[in-house]
């Protein structure tokens, strides 16, 4: 039992490089300098987004669909609005702060679920391709090529046009987005890992393929997949918000950041903040994830430094 | 060797095209009975049968499938129910505007992205590098619909110097082109930078400088050609982003191109038009990818040589 365990730390995640001590010495100051400012700000912001995702119903001052037709298109407090509507109201007098919080929750929920489905589906397909080889592998990789060569937005729009919109279908579409990258990565790494000493050793100890893949190879390639996840996540957010912005994603009475932005577009002259607030939220979220993702990639993949 | 490489790529492209056509056939068949949609579910069975025979829907599915292929080759892609014109014609009417905008944005992407990336690499970790990288991250993190709206707010509503929507003279194209080109130039700048950095670290660069080759010549003749190779593929990928981005950008600026046509047809469920756009864009993209692949092999002889063992 101890044999496979000792094989883990020597996996591809951290190859022992010769000039390590020297490199570490040189990198410490720059890394200290790079780590706090931007990355910490992004992490704090993302923690805030996570809190909104979890506690939107507790944080929101009003029900997000509650209308107050006597107080329509009110400006936010910092533009001279009343304190009862901190970020103002939209064309139906709905509280923008509450809508922003609930919209964030829905957008993040859809993005997490979509990215997860894509990651699980893609990783599984990658394992299947690497295990079965032959025609199955050719077929899977062909599909990967097709998906990679077409803009997914186009496929998503076509599916939505023909099947109409439902929340479930929308989530499935989000999930199909991006699976091919996990497949490509997983297949390549599994093929490589099966020739490594540790995988050969476990197999000769009599472990079944499922155990070799699940308990030994998967943990070794997980870091690369996690980086891919952080790269994919903002793209899923952008796909969701784009489709919702076009009026083809999340449908009322539900709300999402993209949908709010799309609806706010018709009030730019009178109340520009209706569009700018959710837009800023989307932008800051994707920006923070990109910054953290870049930093993670630099940390987890030493070959890129 | 060379021909074998091209043959493999062409075969892949043909399979992709076949899948695109099949996908658009399947999606239409799976989405429900078009006859029910046409005559309603209360209609007389005789009338239903008449229409079924008229559109060839009484034949076996595989016959319909083959007929669909024939129609695609003939360019007969149905009629738009919105304006009773052939769907292909509707698509072709919108195409020039999209090409005009897309090409401008593409040129903008390269003209901004490539020099920025190279300059950043040459000044690694200096303030100019930081500045370029910040611009790049901002550029590809900002959703293009939001960037478009910010530009409209600033230039159309505040400063009142640019028209917010429609197409006409050059002034109509400035904001859409910037909106569409920003994300791409960020990506290209980042990629050009990392590709350039990698090349600058190579031993042949050290050899060149040891030989006494002047810096300008080293960069122009030793570094840039080698750094260009991976950038070509990313430029190829950029085409896909451009297509996806133009869907949103054209809608924001009411630019009468294919992207906006697609969105309005999806909203009104004008299926023939959606199918035509899907097919035409899919086939064009496949062809473009094929050309990029071939160009890639042509620039880098190593890829031609290794194409036989491409999948390890």
Chain B residues with CB inside 8 Å of A286's CB? Answer: 141-143
* Cβ atoms A100, A277 nearer than 8 A: yes
Residue A281 host element (H or E):
helix A273-300
On average, the pLDDT of chain A sits at 80
What pLDDT was estimated at residue B33?
A: 64
Phi and psi at residue A207, to the nearest 5°: -75, 145
A146, A248, A272: which to substitute to probe chain B, counting the most B Cβ within 10 Å? A146
pLDDT bin (cut points 50, 70, 90) of residue A301 is low
Chain B residues with CB inside 8 Å of A247's CB? Answer: 267
Nearest to A291 among B125, B137, B311 (CB): B137
Q: Does B309 touch chain A (CB under 8 A)?
A: no
Helix (H, G, I), strand (E, B) or coil at B202: coil
Q: ipTM exceeding 0.90?
A: no
Residue A4 has pLDDT above 60, yes or no: no
The token pair at B81 is 């129910």
Ranges of chain B whose pLDDT falls below 70? 1, 31-41, 54-56, 300-312
Tell me, yes or no, whether B220 lies in a domain.
Answer: yes
A287: closest chain B residue by CA: B141
Tell me, yes or no, whether B196 lies in a domain.
Answer: yes
Task: Residue B176: give the domain boundaries.
Answer: 88-268
A157, A241, A264: which to substitute to probe chain B, counting the most B Cβ within 10 Å? A157
The answer to whether A191 contacts B143, with C-beta atoms less than 8 Å apart, is no
A236: closest chain B residue by CA: B143
pLDDT bin (cut points 50, 70, 90) of residue A7 is very low
Nearest to B149 among A153, A247, A268 (CB): A268
The answer to whether B286 contacts A153, with C-beta atoms less than 8 Å apart, is no
Residue A28 has pLDDT above 70, yes or no: no
* Cβ atoms A250, A244 nearer than 8 A: yes
Instruction: Tally Cβ neighbours within 10 Å of residue B82.
Output: 16
Tell me, yes or no, whether B140 lies in a domain.
Answer: yes
Give the up-direction half-sphere exposure of residue B118: CA atoms within 13 A in the CB hemisphere.
Answer: 16
Q: Does A286 touch chain B (CB under 8 A)?
A: yes
The answer to whether A238 contacts B267, with C-beta atoms less than 8 Å apart, is no
Q: What is the pLDDT of residues A117-138, one digit of tens each?
A: 999 999 999 999 988 888 888 8
Bridge partner residues of A168 (DSSP) = none
The answer to whether B16 contacts A261, with C-beta atoms less than 8 Å apart, is no
Question: Which A-chain residues 19-78 have CB contacts (< 8 A) with chain B?
Answer: 30
Nearest to A279 among B146, B267, B281 (CB): B146
Q: What is the pLDDT of residues A88-115, one digit of tens each?
A: 887 777 888 888 999 999 999 999 999 9
The answer to whether B137 contacts A241, with C-beta atoms less than 8 Å apart, is no
Nearest to A145 among B12, B23, B248 (CB): B12
Tell me, yes or no, whether B253 lies in a domain.
Answer: yes
Question: Which A-chain residues 131-150 have CB contacts (< 8 A) with chain B?
Answer: 141-143, 145-146, 149-150
Nearest to B27 among A143, A153, A162 (CB): A162
The answer to whether A248 contacts B265, with C-beta atoms less than 8 Å apart, is no
The answer to whether B145 contacts A163, with C-beta atoms less than 8 Å apart, is no
Q: How many domains does chain B have?
A: 1
Helix (H, G, I), strand (E, B) or coil at B56: coil
* pTM summary value: 0.81
Chain A residues with CB inside 8 Å of B274's CB? Answer: 157-158, 161-162
* Cβ atoms B186, B140 nearer than 8 A: yes
CATH of the domain at B172: 1.10.3720.10
- As a whole number of angstroms, the distance between CA A140 and CA B278 comes to 22
A79, A154, A192: which to substitute to probe chain B, counting the most B Cβ within 10 Å? A154
Residue A10 has pLDDT above 80, yes or no: no
- As a whole number of angstroms, the distance between CA B197 and CA A96 comes to 46
What pLDDT was estimated at residue B44?
A: 75
The answer to whether B142 contacts A245, with C-beta atoms less than 8 Å apart, is no
Chain A residues with CB inside 8 Å of B142's CB? Answer: 283, 286-287
Phi and psi at residue A238, to the nearest 5°: -65, -40
Q: Does A172 touch chain B (CB under 8 A)?
A: no
Instruction: Tally Cβ neighbours within 10 Å of residue B236.
Output: 19
Q: Does B150 touch chain A (CB under 8 A)?
A: yes
Residue A19 has pLDDT above 50, yes or no: no
Nearest to A150 among B153, B252, B282 (CB): B282
Tell me, yes or no, whether B121 lies in a domain.
Answer: yes
Tell me, yes or no, whether B53 lies in a domain.
Answer: no
What pLDDT was estimated at residue A35?
A: 59
Tell me, yes or no, whether B93 lies in a domain.
Answer: yes
Tell me, yes or no, whether B79 lies in a domain.
Answer: no
- As a whole number of angstroms, the distance between CA B40 and CA A12 comes to 61
DSSP state of B160: -
Residue B114: alpha-carbon gap to chain centroid? 19
The token pair at B300 is 């880098």
């Amino acid at each position: 039992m101890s044999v496979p365990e000792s094989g883990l730390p020597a996996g591809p995640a951290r190859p022992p490089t010769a000039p390590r001590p020297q490199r570490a010495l040189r990198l410490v100051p720059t890394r200290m300098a790079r780590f706090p400012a931007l990355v910490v700000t992004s992490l704090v912001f993302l923690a805030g987004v996570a809190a909104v995702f979890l506690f939107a119903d507790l944080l929101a001052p009003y029900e997000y669909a509650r209308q107050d037709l006597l107080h329509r298109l009110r400006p936010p407090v910092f533009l001279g609005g009343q304190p009862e509507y901190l970020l103002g109201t939209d064309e139906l007098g709905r509280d923008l702060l509450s809508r922003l919080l609930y919209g964030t929750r829905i957008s993040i929920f859809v993005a997490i679920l979509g990215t997860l489905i894509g990651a699980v589906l893609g990783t599984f397909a990658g394992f299947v391709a690497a295990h079965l080889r032959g025609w199955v592998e050719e077929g899977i990789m062909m599909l990967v090529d097709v998906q990679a060569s077409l803009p997914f937005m186009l496929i998503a729009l076509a599916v939505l046009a023909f099947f109409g919109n439902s929340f479930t279908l929308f989530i499935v579409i989000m999930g199909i987005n991006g699976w091919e990258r996990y497949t490509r990565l997983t297949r390549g790494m599994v093929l490589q890992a099966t020739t490594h000493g540790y995988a050969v050793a476990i197999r000769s100890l009599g472990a079944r393929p499922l155990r070799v893949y699940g308990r030994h190879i998967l943990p070794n390639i997980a870091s690369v997949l996690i980086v891919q996840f952080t790269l994919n996540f903002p793209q899923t957010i952008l796909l969701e918000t784009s489709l919702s912005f076009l009026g083809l994603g999340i449908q009322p009475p539900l709300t999402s950041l993209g949908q709010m932005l799309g609806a706010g577009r018709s009030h730019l002259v009178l109340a520009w903040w209706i569009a700018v607030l959710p837009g800023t939220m989307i932008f800051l979220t994707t920006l923070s994830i990109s910054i953290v993702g870049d930093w993670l990639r630099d940390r987890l993949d030493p070959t890129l430094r | 060797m060379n021909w074998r490489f091209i043959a493999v790529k062409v075969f892949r492209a043909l399979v992709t095209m076949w899948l695109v056509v099949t996908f658009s056939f399947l999606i239409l068949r799976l989405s429900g009975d078009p006859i029910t949609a046409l005559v309603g579910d209360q209609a007389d069975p005789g009338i239903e049968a008449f229409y079924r025979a008229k559109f060839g829907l009484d034949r076996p599915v595989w016959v319909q499938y083959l007929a669909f292929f024939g129609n695609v080759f003939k360019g007969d892609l149905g009629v738009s129910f919105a304006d009773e014109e052939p769907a292909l014609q509707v698509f072709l009417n919108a195409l020039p505007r999209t090409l005009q905008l897309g090409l401008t944005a593409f040129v903008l992407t390269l003209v901004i992205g490539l020099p920025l990336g190279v300059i950043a690499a040459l000044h690694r970790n200096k303030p100019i590098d930081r500045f370029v990288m910040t611009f790049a991250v901002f550029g590809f993190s900002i959703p293009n619909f939001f960037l478009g709206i910010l530009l409209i707010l600033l230039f159309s509503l505040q400063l009142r110097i640019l028209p917010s929507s429609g197409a006409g003279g050059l002034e109509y194209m400035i904001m859409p082109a910037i909106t569409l080109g920003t994300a791409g130039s960020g990506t290209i700048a980042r990629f050009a930078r990392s590709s350039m950095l990698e090349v600058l670290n190579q031993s042949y660069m050290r050899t060149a400088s040891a030989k006494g080759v002047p810096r300008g010549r080293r960069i122009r003749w030793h570094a840039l050609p080698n750094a260009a190779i991976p950038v070509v593929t990313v430029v190829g990928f950029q085409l896909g982003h451009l297509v996806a981005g133009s869907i949103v950008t054209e809608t924001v600026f009411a630019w009468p191109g294919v992207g906006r046509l697609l969105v309005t047809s999806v909203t009104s469920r004008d299926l023939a038009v959606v199918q035509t756009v899907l097919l035409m864009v899919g086939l064009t993209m496949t062809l473009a990818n094929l050309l990029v692949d071939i160009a890639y092999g042509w620039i880098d002889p190593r890829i031609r040589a290794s194409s036989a063992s491409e999948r390890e």
